[in-house]
Structure 1
């Protein structure tokens, strides 16, 4: 299987590859093709290097390691928006697995570890956002105990507005 550890700077290129290839696989038919085709590992890695070295960053990053190195990545931390809930709310900001390895439990291992770490940081609820038309992700998070809470927000990708739905679960 895989083991999970904190991401470090040496993982940036692998994580950018996982993220870009993950977007291009998961969002085909959902996000405009022009947007997906314009994504590059190099551009993502440059942004990730800046973000990863930012002082005062409150989010955490974990990687799942397989026999070929990082094969999955999750980013989580304090919720970036107000969410009604019984206590402090954390947020899963991103979760991606190498497209050729989806469906093998790697995402669930990462999510479970993030949940454990959020609980240890005092969070009582986890929230996340999923594109309305990303049904596989909605099913994945539903199996992990997340439910849509009725909140929605719009994002624009190459002039096309796509709606994201917020999901929550008690930790």
Structure 2
């Protein structure tokens, strides 16, 4: 990912939220999401990324169509964490998200991802790619409304999901 990609990544992330979280988070919050402000935020994240943080984009027909960000797990468990994976809603179910996920996952390492528990398509996507819930839950509040998240984990080869 390059700084020049940040505006398009912001558009994809805002569209992704509006598509995936309709009915799960307050609509006024989704309506207020601003791709211009989000682009500034993405530029700051990209240029200030710490060690081990990887930002990747996927392109379709020469245009950025997806973004993923992976880095060190923020929890006490060893491994990495997939901080974000968004694909332009017009490109859902085309294999682009799967390709982006496969490209960013570190080989032989446990990977964690937090998913809004009501986002059934995302839960199915991660399950399809070897992730499973490990029982961890986290409160996430949007405009005063609790939106529960669950943690999915893809264990490193040879490690059981409950380990």
TM-score, length basis structure 2: 0.91
Check if 1:16 corresponds to 2:1.
no
Take 1:97 and 1:164, find their aligned partners in 2: how far apart are those partners? 20
User: What's 2:113 paired with?
Assistant: 128
Q: Does the CA contact (< 8 Å) of 2:133 and 2:152 recur in 1?
A: yes
Check if 1:32 corresponds to 2:26.
yes
Q: 1:21-170, aligned counterparts within 5 Å?
A: 21-54=15-48, 56-83=50-77, 88-115=78-105, 118-119=106-107, 124-170=109-155
Q: Does the CA contact (< 8 Å) of 2:46 and 2:55 recur in 1?
A: no
Take 2:38 and 2:8, find their aligned partners in 1: how far apart are those partners? 11
Q: Which runs of 5 or more structure 2 residues have no equivalent in the other structure?
A: 157-163
Deviates more, 1:155-164 or 1:123-132: 123-132
Q: 1:22 is paired with a residue of what secondary structure?
A: helix
TM-score, length basis structure 1: 0.87
What is the Cα-based RMSD across aligned positions, in Å?
1.3
Take 1:16 and 1:57, find their aligned partners in 2: how far apart are those partners? 22
Number of residue pairs the alignment of both structures matches: 156
Higher strand share: 1
| Per-residue CA distance 1:105-159 (angstroms, 9 max, x = gap) | 11000000111xx22xxx6201100011111100010000100000000011001
* Structure 1: 4+ residue segments shifted above 2 A: 55-58
Q: Which runs of 5 or more structure 1 residues have no equivalent in the other structure?
A: 1-6
